[in-house]
């Protein structure tokens, strides 16, 4: 298998972007990614599509873009782990010679002008039947409640505190200040975090991610071809997935460990690295808690020590392990797994401007979905991978 690289990144307007369907946003993102790479749409022979709540876009996006004679066309969904899954599938296809240039795109538009952001991911009553109906009767009527349960279990087991989660929110917002695409750039303090309203205790409003409309796409091709294109190549070193399948099961480790414990070691083994080699992380941060537990599962700190690690200032500007340098999903924008992936591309290229991390030789990217039950990890670098 030959080396592969991300050669193009395309991003639409993000946030409260109204009047454009997810399919149109996806098409605009793919066009922007191709332009970014210096490729024509006709140079693409693969398209992998992911969507959010709407069920669109699908593989019909190929027709919207006028793509012909594709050698790869598919739709993927493992929730927040999908973006990395798309890139790893594209890389495997390119490495095997089955495709040569593959666009991977995610788009969604859950926000409506007349509705609150919180209502965008609200579960309808029609879903509350069977076991789901029992959960709803107990008060579990939103994703927030399940993540709150996970966070509370970690707190009870390891002594993790709300203030430690708040340190993650504060560090992430500090990074967002340097990102012109971030939706929330005003600095916040730990006091701001603690005084923000409860969403589901122990999660405050500032523990929870944004809701955004928009689209993001990347172009994956061979490392050799990427060297001759318009942007610095972002080389793909390794990837892995983990799907425990035991969420809410009696006797499970829900809230204490995630699929990151499977996908992280797999990706790092493929890349030939350890945590000591990682310069920065782009972590799926739908909640502050997911950052904490993912870092533990990857091995950047021992299990149960994620809270003190975050509170030490290690994750923010000037810290020992820069995390979510674009503001992540908490303060930047929420494009599922494309949020951490897009920032990894920007950092690997050295295009982060005032938020550029001091070192960018090895960047670890995570995706999480299905309430800690699906996880994917990617290792990227501005340097071609040595060896086989």
**Nearest residue to 308 (alpha-carbon basis) of 150, 158, 151:** 158
User: What would the two tokens of residue 60 be?
Assistant: 């019909």
284 is catalytic: yes
121 is catalytic: no
Contact 381, 363 (CB under 8 A): yes
- What strands lie across the sheet with 363-369, from one edge to the other? 72-75, 46-51, 101-108, 214-222, 4-11, 234-242, 374-381, 363-369, 280-282
Strand pairing category for 234-242 and 4-11: antiparallel
**Residue 49 phi, psi dihedral angles, 5° rounding:** -115, 140
Question: Distance between CA 374 and CA 85 in Å, rounded?
Answer: 11
Which of 147, 158, 333, 334 is flagged as catalytic?
334
**Nearest residue to 199 (alpha-carbon basis) of 157, 162, 168:** 162
Half-sphere exposure of residue 308: CA atoms within 13 angstroms, side-chain side:
7
Count other C-beta atoms under 10 Å from residue 178's C-beta: 17
Q: How far is CA 279 from the centre of its chain?
A: 18
Could you identify the residue written with the tokens 């200032």? Answer: 313
Q: What is residue 383's three-state secondary structure?
A: coil
Q: What is residue 254's three-state secondary structure?
A: coil
Question: Distance between CA 292 and CA 261 in Å, rounded?
Answer: 13
Question: Distance between CA 273 and CA 222 in Å, rounded?
Answer: 21
Question: Which residues are CB-neighbours of 258 under 8 A, at least 6 positions away?
Answer: 242, 244, 290, 293, 294, 297, 368, 372, 373, 375
Question: Which residues are CB-neighbours of 278 under 8 A, at least 6 positions away?
Answer: 300, 321, 362, 363, 364
Which of 284, 287, 298, 333 is flagged as catalytic?
284
**Nearest residue to 364 (alpha-carbon basis) of 231, 275, 266:** 275
Q: Which residues are catalytic?
A: 284, 334
């Amino acid at each position: 298998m030959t080396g592969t690289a991300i050669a193009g990144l395309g991003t639409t307007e993000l946030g409260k972007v109204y009047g454009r369907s997810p399919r149109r946003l996806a098409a605009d993102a793919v066009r922007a990614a191709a332009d970014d790479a210096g490729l024509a749409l006709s140079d693409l022979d693969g398209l992998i599509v992911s969507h959010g709540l709407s069920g669109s876009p699908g593989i019909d996006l190929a027709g919207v873009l006028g793509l012909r004679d594709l050698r790869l066309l598919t739709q993927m969904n493992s929730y927040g782990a999908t973006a990395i899954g798309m890139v790893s599938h594209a890389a495997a296809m390119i490495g095997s010679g089955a495709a040569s240039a593959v666009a991977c795109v995610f788009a969604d538009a859950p926000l409506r002008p007349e509705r609150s952001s919180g209502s965008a991911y609200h579960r309808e009553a029609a879903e509350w039947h069977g076991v789901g109906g029992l959960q709803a009767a107990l008060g579990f009527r939103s994703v927030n409640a399940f993540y709150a349960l996970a966070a509370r279990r970690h707190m009870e087991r390891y002594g993790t505190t709300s203030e430690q989660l708040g340190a993650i929110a504060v560090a992430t917002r500090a990074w967002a200040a340097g990102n012109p695409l971030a939706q929330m750039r005003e600095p916040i303090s730990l006091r701001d975090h603690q005084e923000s309203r409860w969403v589901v205790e122990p999660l405050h409003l500032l523990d929870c991610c944004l809701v955004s409309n928009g689209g993001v796409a990347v172009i994956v091709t061979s490392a050799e071809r990427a060297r001759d294109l318009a942007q610095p190549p972002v080389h793909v070193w390794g990837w892995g997935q983990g799907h425990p399948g035991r969420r809410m099961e009696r006797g499970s480790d829900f809230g204490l460990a995630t699929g990151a414990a499977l996908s992280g070691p797999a990706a790092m083994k493929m890349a030939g690295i350890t945590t000591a080699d990682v310069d920065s992380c782009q972590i799926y941060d739908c909640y502050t808690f997911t950052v904490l537990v993912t870092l533990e599962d990857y091995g950047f700190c021992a299990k149960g020590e994620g809270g003190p690690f975050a509170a030490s200032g290690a994750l923010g500007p000037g810290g020992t392990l820069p995390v979510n340098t674009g503001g992540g999903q908490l303060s930047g924008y929420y494009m599922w797994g494309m949020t951490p992936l897009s920032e990894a591309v920007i950092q690997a290229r050295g295009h982060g401007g005032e938020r550029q991390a001091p070192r960018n030789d090895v960047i670890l990217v995570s995706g999480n979905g299905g309430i800690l039950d699906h996880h994917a990890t990617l290792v990227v670098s501005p340097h071609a991978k040595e060896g086989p």
